[in-house]
Structure 1
Amino acid sequence: MRKYAEVARWLKETDPQGALYDFHEPDPISRDDLLRVHAREYVDQVLSCTVPHTIAREIGFPMTESVSFRAQCATGGSLLTAMLALEHGVACNTAGGSHHARIAQGAGFCVFNDVAVAVRAVQAMRMVRRVLIIDLDVHQGDGTADIFAHDTSVFTLSLHSEKNYPVRKKASTLDVPLEDGMEDDEYLSILEDTLKRVLTTFKADLVFFNAGVDPHHDDRLGRLALSDQGLRKREELVFKLVRNEGLPLAGVLGGGYSYNLRLLVNRHSNLYRVAAKYL
């Protein structure tokens, strides 16, 4: 959990004059925005910190006031990120990517599905019609896939470790399961071919990019074998292909699990280093 504050601190320390990164502080997401995606009972349980123990256990931690408030702010951050991306072309959240949260409950360290809530909000405001979600977290985005399962206005693309969590996966619009131990070159080749095909066939108004760094070979919860350089090339490839199509890109942090906080923050920093080139 400490990585979120450390990523924001890194951004401020590496750009003290604000020449590269313009910070915006989001409002906590509204209940009405949450209810476009999540079940009323579950939303109220989170907001009142009365989540049943069985659900809290699936999420991975108890629902305290601080955890609830953080989830509201992270989700508000993804909505603000979408709106800023539509205005400026590129924007990134210093949190977000909670793609295991389902309609009726959270799971896998995810309370609210921030990207799904943000997508529904900007659609409701008629800022966009069609959204592409590129999920490159090492784990399949089952919650996001399930939420948009019958909605042709949202294309969910997930490249993930085939044998990793969750055991019971939900069908994305396009799933690309990857073999254990896959390294940079093969991964990047598959990603490039897949993303070019998707961008040709699905005409989006906005792209969300879940830039989880858990495909790294040292990640505690990953099963792939990307290097630091491979993760950087991944971010560069996504931004290049999406921005060359003239599409606004909203980035969210996604997963990353390491005992070495400095190395973890450095891996996440690639998202912002690359994004800064496109502002």
Structure 2
Amino acid sequence: MKAFYADHFVLPLPEGHRFPMEKYAQLRDLVSAIDGVELVEAPAASDTQILYAHDPVYLIHVLEGSLSAQEQREIGFPWSTQMVERSRRSAGATIAAAKTSLKEGIAANLAGGTHHAYRNKGSGFCVFNDSVIAARSLQREVHSKLKIAIIDLDVHQGNGTASILENDSSIFTMSIHGESNYPFQKENSDLDIGLADGCTDATYLNSLLMGLDQLSTRFQADCIIYLAGADPHENDRLGRLKITQAGMRKRDEAVFQYAKDLQIPIAFSMAGGYGKSIDSTVAIHYQTIITAAHFQKKLALRHSYF
């Protein structure tokens, strides 16, 4: 299984910044020891690929460093050339993982999941929406009739993804999230399942299985992009749910088993994670990679796109 990484492109964040940038390097160190996982440096998404999801004026402002102070505050990062490069690489990693999954069945981005980025603005630590960029890259660069499901299990709704894809019937958006959590102004995914604060394993897993059943009924996906956020975990500072580490493993198993049963290629990203201890967040992300590695045998594809 290939795992694409970009953790050596580091943002220069102010001391005490709450975004856990160091988790990515720690995760790659652990993943490097997993038998059968090949680490690959992420390519940079091109301007053309970014424009599959984003407004040209917004892209120019990001590239030229002309984002306003308010726009930078909404993103949550101060502008820097490193921010631009890391954002390109994070999107490029999901593109590469998605294309690899079509050939090999499964592939990972050890970052990504930047689902709060809208067409014309960044938000919530998200500059470019890697899932939308990757989905549309498959459609424009591999096969125009590919149908893609985005399964977003970050604890925060994928509002940017839902907004960009609201009128795109070729990409199905499914989000299971904390109903009372950020973003407080939700958008309309194709399938939204909002969970109450304090939700535990049984309710979460039942909701996931119900969601996957609805996905099967409503949409025939050729590829899945899965956002495997660590923030539903009970020790997450921002999550407000009570999902145990065992519950998180069962969540990942359910998604990967779904893809395997239906023989659908799957690319996945780490998305959010803000544990009270960074070690707990890294442990959840690592568990996702380990779980995926158990499903790494090549999936038979319904169609040949190569």
* TM-score (structure 1 length as normaliser): 0.96
- Aligned residue number for residue 245 of structure 1: 262
Task: Tell me the C-alpha RMSD between the 2 structures.
Answer: 1.1
What's the % identity of the aligned pairs? 39
1:79 to 95, 104, 120: 95
Partners of 1:27 and 1:91 in 2: CA distance: 14
- Aligned residue number for residue 99 of structure 1: 115
- Aligned residue number for residue 195 of structure 1: 212
Runs of 4+ with deviation above 4 angstroms: none
Return the offset for 1:63: 1.2
1:234 to 241, 251, 254: 251
Partners of 1:169 and 1:276 in 2: CA distance: 34
1:7 to 20, 27, 30: 27
Return the offset for 1:239: 0.4
| 1:181-226 residue CA offsets vs partner (Å, 9 max, x unmatched) | 0000111011112212212331011001000011111111111110
- Aligned residue number for residue 142 of structure 2: 126
| 1:236-272 residue CA offsets vs partner (Å, 9 max, x unmatched) | 0110012110000100111000242222111111221
2:126 to 97, 100, 110: 110
Contact preservation (8 Å) 2:115, 2:161: yes
Contact preservation (8 Å) 1:28, 1:69: yes
1:139 to 145, 156, 166: 156
- Aligned residue number for residue 153 of structure 1: 170
Partners of 2:65 and 2:260 in 1: CA distance: 40
2:274 to 246, 250, 257: 257
Structure 1, gaps ≥5 residues long: none
| 1:155-191 residue CA offsets vs partner (Å, 9 max, x unmatched) | 0000000000011111000100111100001110111
| 1:215 and 2:250 aligned | no
Amino acid at match of 2:43: D
1:176 to 188, 193, 204: 193
- Aligned residue number for residue 70 of structure 1: 86
Partners of 2:291 and 2:64 in 1: CA distance: 39
SS in 2 for 1:134: strand
Amino acid at match of 1:263: S
Structure 2, gaps ≥5 residues long: 1-20, 297-306
Amino acid at match of 2:90: A
Partners of 1:62 and 1:41 in 2: CA distance: 19
Contact preservation (8 Å) 2:101, 2:265: yes
Contact preservation (8 Å) 1:91, 1:249: yes
Residues 139/90 of structure 1: CA separation in 2 closer, same or farther (3 Å cut):
same
More helix by share: 1
| 1:57 and 2:77 aligned | no
| 1:29 and 2:45 aligned | yes
Q: How does 1:264-275 map to 2 (within 5 A)?
A: 264-275=281-292
Partners of 1:175 and 1:214 in 2: CA distance: 17
Partners of 2:262 and 2:108 in 1: CA distance: 18
Deviates more, 1:262-271 or 1:104-113: 262-271
Partners of 2:165 and 2:31 in 1: CA distance: 33
Number of matched residues?
275
* TM-score (structure 2 length as normaliser): 0.88
Contact preservation (8 Å) 1:251, 1:271: no
Return the offset for 1:50: 2.4
Contact preservation (8 Å) 1:133, 1:208: yes
